[in-house]
Structure 1
Amino acid sequence: MPAGNVSAVLVHGAWADGSSWSKVIERLEAQGINAIAAPLPLSSLPDDVAALERTLERVDVPVVLAGHAYAGAVIGSARAEKVRALVYVAALAPDEGETVGDVFNRGKPHPLAPTLSPDKHGLIWLPKKAFADAFAQHASSQELTVLEAVQRPVSVSCIGVAVGRPLWKDRPSWFLIANEDRMIIRDNQQFMAQRMNALVHSYPVDHTPMITSPDAVTSVIIEAARAVAAQ
Structure 2
Amino acid sequence: MSIDGIMAVLVHGAWADESSWSKALKLIQSNGIKAVTIKLPLSSLGDDTAALDKVLEQVAGPVVLVGHAYAGAVIASTQSTKVQALVYIAALAPDEGETVADVFYRYEHDDKAPKLAPDSDGWIWLPVEAFGTAFAQHATPQEQQALAKAQRPISPACITVPVGQPLWKRIPAWYLIAEQDHMIPERTQRFMAERMRAHISAHPVDHLPSVTAPELVAAVIVDAVKQSKN
Deviation at 1:4, TM superposition (A): 4.7
Distance 2:165 2:4 in 1: 30
1:67–1:88 Cα contact (<8 Å) kept: yes
Q: Distance in 2 between matches of 1:4 and 1:102?
A: 38
Output the aligned Cα RMSD. Answer: 0.9
Deviations 1:26-50 (A, max 9, x none): 0111111111111100000000000
SS at match of 2:195: helix
The aligned counterpart of 2:189 is 189
SS in structure 1 opposite 2:14? coil
Name structure 2 gaps, 5 residues minimum: none
1:62, 1:228 within 8 Å by CA — same for their partners in 2?
A: no
Identity of aligned residues (%): 55
Q: Shift in Å at residue 223 of structure 1?
A: 0.3
Write the distance in 2 (CA, Å) between the matches of 1:130 and 1:6.
36
Q: Which residue identity is paired with 2:176? A: L
Alpha-carbon distance between aligned partners in 2 of 1:101 and 1:178, rounded to the nearest angstrom: 19
Does the 8 Å CA contact 1:4/1:34 hold for their aligned counterparts?
Answer: no
In the other structure, the counterpart of 2:214 is 214
- For normalisation by structure 1, the TM-score amounts to 0.98
User: TM-score normalised to the size of structure 2?
Assistant: 0.98
Task: Name the counterpart of 2:62.
Answer: 62
Paired positions, count:
229
Q: Which residue of 2 aligns with 1:98?
A: 98
Structure 1: gaps spanning 5 or more residues: none
Q: Distance in 2 between matches of 1:188 and 1:13?
A: 17
In structure 1, distance between residues paired with 2:139 and 2:170: 35
Match of 1:116 in 2: 116
- 1:159 is the counterpart of 2:159: yes
SS at match of 1:74: helix
1:74 aligned residue: 74
For 2:80 and 2:38, locate their aligned partners in 1 and report how far apart those are by CA, in whole Å.
Answer: 14
Choose 37-46 or 56-65, whichever is displaced more. Answer: 56-65
